[in-house]
Structure 1
Amino acid sequence: MADNSTNVRLLSSFLRGLGAVSPAAAARLGIQLFRLTGPRRQPRFTPAPDAVEHFHAGRHRLASYVWEGGGPTVVLVHGWNGTSGDLSAFVAPLRDTGRRVVAIDLPAHGRSSGRLSDLTEAVEAVEAVLRREPSIEAVIAHSFGVPATVLAAARGAPLPRAVLISGPTAVEPYLERFGQVLGLPPAIREALRRRLRMFLERAGFQTVDLTVVAPRLDGRALIVHDRSDREVPFLSAQALHRAWSGSKLLATEGLGHRRLLVDPAAIERAVRFAVGWERKDVEAPVLPQSRELRVVGG
């Protein structure tokens, strides 16, 4: 839902009025509003993709952008209200390693179809691209793209390595923030939580808590998170790292939630991990010098 102050006031008044009569009815409408994406942005890339492809996942027609290369495939997954272009700074470094790069617009984002979407459809989209693309080596995902990627792997999609940047471990905090922005009373917020659980269960998700799912995954992960992230607390990264035995945690300072996507040092570390150059048994080329980032554990 877009953060327009006039819209927020009107929706808040309407939902509170409806909730006074029927919290369940307010929750049904609230969940639909929660699934509403913000103003549509078109992705921009440098360099331009070699091809733009379309494929279907569930009810959506999705756009994907392909940079050809002789090596295996690395997939880029953006966050909520973002586009595939948000991760464009990773494309050139990945191509320099010879990798084939594929970026997707999630449902109701970028050039993909729809106006409403949610985590279940994002998982469906990531799972579809991981199953259709050849020789998947890694996924680099940001924010909302992180749970979409991890849950797709939990459903059996191939995920040898993942770089998970600024990602939440659960969807409930977003719903709580949604309720706070609209100033909804406790009864409606609780009805929203029940409605969300029902919605997820009907879609076949018994849990979307990544700390529950991660211990079952065989792949390796680099979890990248800034200590000053105001949108997704650093505690989320720590919790996921503890739950995932095959993970490393890379902490940064002063980059917040989004600047990690353009910071040269963070990009370098992410690319090295994605293509396997951090392994001691691999002779990696020398990349340009950049400032040091600290691996906390793993």
Structure 2
Amino acid sequence: MVRKTLKKYAPLLVGKQLSTLFLISPKKALHKAFILFCTPRKGRILPDQEYFLEEAEDEIITVNDLYLQTYRWVGYKETILLVHGWESNSHRWKTLIEKLNQIGYTVVAFDAPAHGNSSGKILNVPLYAECLQKIVQLYRPNYMVSHSVGAMASIFNQYRYQNKEVEKTIILAPPAELSEIMQNYKTALRFSDKFLTSLNNFFKEQFGYSFEEFSMPYFAQKITIPGLIIHDKYDDIAPYKGSLKIHENWNDSHLITTENFGHSLFFDEVDDMIIDFLKD
């Protein structure tokens, strides 16, 4: 009971501290607020996940000052790159990896910064997209499958780099609008409108986009490769309406709507949808 109470009020206490610091040192408060937003609380490899990942060919690559753990299951057909979501790691793909490898595909996965066996303490979509580009250049995948924040990184990566070697991409349960995510962050920590506006300016100085401009439907307009979007109608983490907008703006995309599959989409039916799209 005490633990639940602490968990409930912790965001309010942190928000109060940051808001107070904002009055004294705005830059320091904004930096701390952004780092907090980018810091995962879980997602490292658990002991019971190690065995499966140890079966893969592994390689560590560097991006700036980060060490990224990659995994490869070699097949005789095309290469598929898997991109996990927030507070997750490459093990989340275990069942799909086994199915894809069994029918001949070479499968590559990697742990995002601050996740799995990779180094780092923070993760954000621009950073994830930059790391993803290094992986694409190294392994030259024919297809990509990505989930949640990984899906955001995949969309932004394809918008920014227009990778010609990627023939198709599959997007699972993508959050669509950074502005909505940041509004939820503001509500959780009870930031003032002024604080959020300043954080928006901070983000634009760092990455060249405001929260409103960092929009997956907008980025999708520039994607020319075929795509499949799979999203559950009742997703309580990434609203389904976002995928409707992405689909509307992505000329060569197909949207499949599931019901009661949740945000994770851990169902055999979803694996079948992915495999069918790759084979088509």
**CA RMSD of the aligned region, Å?**
2.2
**In structure 1, which of residues 80, 83, 91 is the aligned counterpart of residue 86 of structure 2?**
80
Per-residue deviation at 1:187?
Answer: 1.5
- Residue 170 (str. 1) matches residue 177 (str. 2): yes
Determine the C-alpha separation between the residues in 1 that align with 2:12 and 2:220.
39
**Match of 1:289?**
none
Moved more, 192-201 or 246-255: 192-201
- Residue 31 (str. 1) matches residue 38 (str. 2): no
Per-residue deviation at 1:19?
Answer: 2.5
**In structure 1, which of residues 144, 148, 158 is the aligned counterpart of residue 149 of structure 2?**
144
**In structure 1, which of residues 124, 142, 158 is the aligned counterpart of residue 130 of structure 2?**
124
Moved more, 190-199 or 225-234: 190-199
Does the Cα contact within 8 Å between 2:178 and 2:212 map onto a contact in 1? no
For 2:181, give the aligned amino acid. Answer: Y
* TM-score with structure 1 setting the length: 0.84
Determine the C-alpha separation between the residues in 1 that align with 2:269 and 2:171.
15
Show structure 2 runs of 5+ residues with no match. Answer: 1-5
**In structure 2, which of residues 267, 270, 278 is the aligned counterpart of residue 266 of structure 1?**
270
Does the Cα contact within 8 Å between 2:148 and 2:174 map onto a contact in 1? yes
SS of match in other structure, 1:107 = coil
For 2:143, give the aligned amino acid. Answer: A
Moved more, 216-225 or 22-31: 22-31
How many residue pairs were aligned?
269
Per-residue deviation at 1:57?
Answer: 1.8
Does the Cα contact within 8 Å between 2:12 and 2:188 map onto a contact in 1? no
Determine the C-alpha separation between the residues in 1 that align with 2:95 and 2:253.
23
For 1:150, give the aligned amino acid. Answer: I
- Residue 231 (str. 1) matches residue 234 (str. 2): no
Per-residue deviation at 1:13?
Answer: 2.0
**In structure 2, which of residues 208, 232, 237 is the aligned counterpart of residue 201 of structure 1?**
208
For 2:120, give the aligned amino acid. Answer: G
- Residue 211 (str. 1) matches residue 211 (str. 2): no
Per-residue deviation at 1:23?
Answer: 4.4
- Residue 19 (str. 1) matches residue 41 (str. 2): no
Per-residue deviation, residues 34-57 of structure 1 (Å, max 9, x unmatched): 121213420627854331211112
Determine the C-alpha separation between the residues in 1 that align with 2:179 and 2:133.
22
For 1:137, give the aligned amino acid. Answer: N
Change (3 A) 1:99 1:46: farther
* TM-score with structure 2 setting the length: 0.89
Per-residue deviation at 1:8?
Answer: 2.1
- Residue 183 (str. 1) matches residue 190 (str. 2): yes
Moved more, 75-84 or 23-32: 23-32
For 1:153, give the aligned amino acid. Answer: Q
SS of match in other structure, 1:56 = strand
Determine the C-alpha separation between the residues in 2 that align with 1:267 and 1:47.
19
Does the Cα contact within 8 Å between 2:84 and 2:150 map onto a contact in 1? yes
Change (3 A) 1:191 1:270: same
- Residue 89 (str. 1) matches residue 92 (str. 2): no
Show structure 1 runs of 5+ residues with no match. Answer: 279-298
**In structure 1, which of residues 153, 157, 164 is the aligned counterpart of residue 158 of structure 2?**
153
- Residue 192 (str. 1) matches residue 199 (str. 2): yes
For 2:116, give the aligned amino acid. Answer: G
Q: Which protein is richer in helix relative to its size?
A: 2
**In structure 1, which of residues 34, 41, 49 is the aligned counterpart of residue 44 of structure 2?**
41
For 1:144, give the aligned amino acid. Answer: V
**Match of 1:52?**
58
For 2:154, give the aligned amino acid. Answer: T
